[in-house]
C-alpha cells in the first residue's frame, strides 16, 4: 500500500496524536500515513544509489533505467546517515547511456568532498572527456558547472560536509546547493552520452574526485514543474540526513 501524501489536495508534512509528533501511522500492518519524502519518479531516467544491496566497487546498477556503471572501479565504501556510500579517491566508475537526454535535463546528487586543495575536483562528468562536468571545485573551495563552457564559482560552500546538489541545464543553467541557488548562467549546450562518477579526464588537468557519492538522480526535465525541485531535494535530504 502506498502511503498517502495529501488530504483533499493539501500536502501532508507531519501528524500529531494527542499533541505528540508522529512520522508514520499504520493500520493492521499497512502504512496509512508517512511524513517521509518519497522518490519523485516522473521524468527520472537514471538513478544510481550507492546504498543499494546490488552495488559493488565495480558495478553500480541503474535503478531507473538499463544503463549500469561497469567500467572502472572505486575505492570502497563508507557510510552517511547510516547508509552505504561510495568512497572515491582519484578513481572512477562509468557507463554509456542507450539514449542521451536533451535540454532541459537535471542532475540531483548527494556528495561530500574530502579534499578542497586540488585545483579541480570533479565527482560527476559526462561520459566523453571535454564534454560535461556537473560540479567541480577549485583550490579555494569554489563550485562550478561546465557544459562546454566554463561557468562561475560560488566561494562560500563548506565542501567537506555532505550537501544536496541540484544542477539544472535549460535556458539558464543553474546550480542549487541545499535548496539555495549559488550560480546561474550559460554553461554551454553539450549533452552527456553517459555518466562518469569520479574522474576520467585523460588529456585535461582536472584532478580525480576525493570524497563520497551517495546517490545520483538524472531527470529528463528542469525540475520546474513535475517533479518539482523541492520534492527531489526533500527526498534526498530526508534519506541522507541533510537539512534542505
Domains of the chain in sequence order: 1-36 (no CATH), 44-240 (2.60.120.200)
- Grid coordinates representing 68 are 549500469
The Cα–Cα gap between 197 and 71 comes to: 10
Which range has the worst mean pLDDT, 134-148, 170-184, 206-220? Answer: 134-148
Mean pLDDT of the chain: 83
What digits encode the pLDDT tens for the residues 88-121? 998 899 999 998 888 899 999 999 988 766 667 7
* Section 173-197 average pLDDT: 89
Four-point Cα dihedral 151, 230, 222, 101, nearest 10: 100
Distance CA 192, CA 117 (A): 27
- pLDDT score, position 155: 67
CA 18, CA 30: separation in Å to the nearest integer? 21
Q: State which H helix or E strand residue 231 sits in.
A: helix 229-240
What's the confidence (pLDDT) of residue 232?
A: 98
Residue 235 binned pLDDT confidence (cut-offs 50, 70, 90)? very high
CA–CA dist 172, 192 (Å, integer): 17
Is residue 215 over pLDDT 70?
yes
**24, 34 Cβ separation under 8 angstroms:** yes
The predicted model gives 11-36 an average pLDDT of: 57
**Confidence (pTM):** 0.83
> With bands split at pLDDT 50, 70 and 90, how would you rate the model's confidence at 203?
very low
pLDDT tens figures, 122-135: 888 875 544 556 77
**All three cell numbers of 45:** 531516467
Task: Report whether 164 contacts 178 (CB < 8 A).
Answer: yes
Per-residue model confidence (pLDDT) at position 239? 97
Amino acid at each position: 500500500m502506498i502511503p498517502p501524501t495529501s488530504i483533499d489536495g493539501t500536502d501532508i508534512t507531519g501528524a500529531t496524536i494527542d499533541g505528540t509528533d508522529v512520522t508514520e501511522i499504520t493500520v493492521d500492518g499497512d502504512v496509512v500515513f508517512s511524513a517521509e519524502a518519497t522518490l519523485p519518479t516522473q521524468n527520472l531516467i537514471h538513478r544510481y544509489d550507492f546504498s543499494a544491496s546490488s552495488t559493488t566497487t565495480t558495478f553500480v546498477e541503474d535503478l531507473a533505467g538499463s544503463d549500469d556503471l561497469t567500467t572502472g572501479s572505486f575505492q570502497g565504501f563508507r557510510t552517511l546517515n547510516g547508509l552505504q556510500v561510495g568512497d572515491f579517491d582519484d578513481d572512477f566508475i562509468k557507463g554509456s547511456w542507450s539514449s542521451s537526454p536533451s535540454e532541459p535535463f537535471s542532475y540531483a546528487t548527494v556528495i561530500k568532498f574530502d579534499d578542497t586543495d586540488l585545483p579541480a575536483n570533479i565527482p560527476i562528468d559526462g561520459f566523453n572527456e571535454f564534454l560535461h562536468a556537473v560540479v567541480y571545485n577549485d583550490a579555494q573551495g569554489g563550485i562550478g558547472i561546465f557544459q562546454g563552457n566554463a561557468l562561475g564559482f560560488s566561494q562560500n560552500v563548506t565542501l567537506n560536509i555532505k550537501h544536496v546538489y541540484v544542477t539544472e541545464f535549460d535556458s539558464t543553467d543553474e546550480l542549487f546547493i541545499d535548496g539555495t541557488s549559488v550560480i546561474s548562467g550559460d554553461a554551454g549546450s553539450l549533452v552527456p552520452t553517459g555518466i562518469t562518477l569520479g574522474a576520467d579526464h585523460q588529456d585535461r588537468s582536472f584532478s580525480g574526485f576525493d570524497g563520497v557519492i551517495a546517490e545520483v538522480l538524472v531527470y529528463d526535465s528542469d525540475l520546474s514543474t513535475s517533479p518539482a525541485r523541492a520534492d527531489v531535494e526533500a527526498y534526498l535530504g530526508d534519506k541522507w540526513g541533510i537539512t534542505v
